Amino acid sequence: MENFNYHRPASVDDAVKAATARPDAKYMSGGMTLIPTMKQGLASPSDIIDLGALKNSGISVGATVVIKAGTTHAEVAHSAEVRKAIPALAALAGGIGDPHVRNKGTIGGSVTNNDPAADYPSACLGLGATIHTNARKIRAEDFFTGMFSTALEDGEVITAVEFPIPRKAGYAKFPNPASRYAMVGVFVADTADGPRVAVTGAGAGVFRASALEAALGKGFDSASLTGTPVPAKDLNNDLHASAEYRAHLITVMAKRAVDAAK
């Protein structure tokens, strides 16, 4: 790991100022992704701007569920309010990594990183979430722009993620046997605008499975998905799973997510 300067601003404005002044600076929330990449030499920021002093964690549930960016996965998993409003979201958070990771890693860090195998992006896209930043609000559809990339501008900081409350939602994850990230993760939601199915782990980034959404349009029931194939084209093909296997698993996991939906 290379040396870096460390900052711990007390307000979002100070954080943004510190970052904008230094082109090679990086924000740090839980550090669960950033620090390993620095240790491996994949990132060597000149400055670390630790968001830990912003006091930006917390969950509020009203017409929507608003989770502040600094809220850890463990807090979401254990939140009685989230469990009641969107049980699938709490369950998803409870299945990320291991206890260490869940107690340090945050929703803001996770969506910013937009790892193609991360869990949260599927919930964001599956529920039609809105990402709040210091400057604006971005729809999930527009936020996730591809592998490890998002619509965030340089220095822009996420403050919260806002989730509409669906009638029902479910998440089923097929973990990569080694890393336990999602090899295929499917988030299904029965929303006011109809069924939504978001898939993570299988492609270059999170995406909606239109064939499955159409099938669920006939009835939000796993039986509706039987015999609905997902095209393998453009899916990931690696040591752990071929594109065909991933395509197969998307349908299987979608069914399981629908069956688990609450």
Ligand X SMILES: Cc1cc2nc3c(=O)[nH]c(=O)nc-3n(C[C@H](O)[C@H](O)[C@H](O)COP(=O)(O)OP(=O)(O)OC[C@H]3O[C@@H](n4cnc5c(N)ncnc54)[C@H](O)[C@@H]3O)c2cc1C
Residues in contact with other proteins by CB under 8 A are 1, 174, 177-179, 239-242, 245, 248-249, 252
Of 214 and 260, which CB lies nearer to ligand X in the complex structure?
260
Residues in CB range of 200: below 8 A, 6 or more apart: 116, 117, 118, 119, 121, 122, 182, 184, 185, 186, 187, 206
Strand ranges across the sheet with 168-175? 168-175, 182-191, 194-200, 207-208
Site residue total, ligand X (CB under 6 A)? 31
Of 176 and 191, which CB lies nearer to other proteins in the complex structure?
176
Of 115 and 162, which CB lies nearer to other proteins in the complex structure?
115
51 binds ligand X (CB under 6 A): yes
Binding mask 139-168 for ligand X (x = CB under 6 A): ------------------xx----------
> Residue written as tokens 């529920």?
127
d(CA 195, CA 211): 11
Contact 51, 158 (CB under 8 A): no
- The token pair at 178 is 């080694």
How far CA 11 is from CA of 47, 50, 58, 69, in Å, comes to 17, 11, 16, 13
Binding mask 168-207 for ligand X (x = CB under 6 A): ------------xx--------------------------
**In the complex, which residues of this chain contact ligand X (CB under 6 A)?**
26-34, 36, 51, 69, 96-97, 101, 104-106, 108-110, 112-113, 115, 118-120, 157-158, 180-181
